[in-house]
Amino acid sequence: MKENADKARGLDAAEISKQLRDASEQMFRLRFQLSMGQADGLTKLRKLRRERARMLTIQRERELGQSETPAAKPVKATKATAKAPAKKVAVKKAAPKAAVKKPAVKKGKG
């Protein structure tokens, strides 16, 4: 997968946009086939979706001026977080429902 991203980064903006259009058209056709009951293209649809996402990511990187996405930095545990006990979360219980009183029926002459 890394090779595909490297290949895509080597393309110019016009070629990437052309490949995006082609992938969108192929995805449309495959979705149409799937709706007609032909399940042969399911894996191809998934691959196209990933490839299209890869192209869109590269376009966005270029738009932001980044050549590659930066690696996430590991978060170090501090002494305070390492020794702090887990906080207990208080759970509110639902208030009991008030009993519904029925109106009193007066017995009278009638």
For residues 108 and 110, what is the distance between their CA atoms, to the nearest angstrom? Answer: 6
List, for residues 61-106, the tens digit of each pLDDT value: 888 987 554 444 455 656 555 555 566 666 666 666 666 666 667 7
pLDDT band at 18 (very low <50, low <70, confident <90, very high): very high
57 Cβ neighbours under 8 A, 6+ residues apart: 69
Question: For 2-64, which CATH class?
Answer: mainly alpha
Domain ranges, ordered by start, for the chain: 2-64
Neighbours of 51 (CB within 10 A): 19
Mean pLDDT of 52-61: 91
Higher confidence at residue 83 or residue 33? 33
